[in-house]
Amino acid sequence: MKHFLILTQMLLFGCLFVANPVAAQQDRTLEADLLQLKRQLRQVQLRFPELDGQVLEVGTFVESDSYFQSNFDALSLLGPRPIYRIEVNPRIFALDCPPAAIEAVLAHELAHTLDYVRGGLAGILGIGWQLLVGPAPYERRTDLQAIFRGFGPGLRQYRLWLYAQLSPEQLLRKRPSRPASNSRPAG
């Protein structure tokens, strides 16, 4: 009986170290989604020749109401080859965001990256200040960069898709307020 208990414990303990097939499948799916996103990013980056030669990585992050962000490795800014990142919330891959919308948001994020590259460390501090004071004007200028490069329809498509994903509270925080005198319909 003692040997049976030891064998059972060893078997149960060993099962703890066996890979979870569901998690492994999710990892493979995420890897495939990120690979597709990298392909899209390379295509979008062709419209940002100013970023040629820059180190650009793709990473992930998790937030409840954001799906993309531009970032950088802070320590690398002090060296000769800064590392910039476009980060994606993996939830977006399960929510059927249209490809043109994803490409447009990638263009928006690359516009942020271009600001980081052009401004250097001092410029990044200035951007941080703008975002603290009120992000709407800076984000609008970044949208205009994407629009100028041909991604306007995709940005509109992304905005409509995004609003459909948000709770009413999140929508109030995300959606730009319109002046009361503006008679144009929202959207």
User: For position 101, what pLDDT does the model report?
Assistant: 98
User: For position 28, what pLDDT does the model report?
Assistant: 81
- Could you tell me if residue 166 is inside a domain? yes
Q: Which domain range does residue 159 map to?
A: 30-173
- Could you tell me if residue 186 is inside a domain? no
User: For position 187, what pLDDT does the model report?
Assistant: 44
- Could you tell me if residue 131 is inside a domain? yes
- In DSSP terms, 56 is beta-bridged to 84
- Could you tell me if residue 136 is inside a domain? yes
Q: How many separate domains does the chain show? A: 1
The C-alpha atoms of residue 138 and residue 144 are separated, in whole angstroms, by 10
Q: Please state, as a whole number, how many other Cβ atoms lie within 10 Å of the Cβ of residue 141.
A: 12
- Could you tell me if residue 43 is inside a domain? yes
Residue 101 near residue 154, CB atoms below 8 Å: yes
User: For position 27, what pLDDT does the model report?
Assistant: 76
Tokens 């410029």, residue? 123
- Could you tell me if residue 17 is inside a domain? no
The DSSP 8-state label assigned to residue 21 in this structure reads: H
Distances (CA, A) of 48 to 42, 107, 152: 10, 8, 15
Q: Please state, as a whole number, how many other Cβ atoms lie within 10 Å of the Cβ of residue 104.
A: 26
Using 50 as the pLDDT threshold, list the residues of the chain that sit under it.
4-5, 7-8, 10-18, 179-187
Side by side, the strands of the sheet bearing 55-60 are: 55-60, 83-88, 68-72
Helix (H) or strand (E) holding 39: helix 21-45
The DSSP secondary structure of 69-134, one letter per residue, reads EEEE-TGGGGSSS-EEEEEE-GGGGGTT--HHHHHHHHHHHHHHHHHHHHHHHHHHHHHHHHHHH-
- Could you tell me if residue 8 is inside a domain? no
Distances (CA, A) of 102 to 12, 14, 69, 80, 140: 44, 42, 12, 31, 17
Q: Which long-range contacts (CB under 8 A, 24 or more apart) does 130-136 make?
A: 136/176
- Could you tell me if residue 14 is inside a domain? no
User: For position 2, what pLDDT does the model report?
Assistant: 53
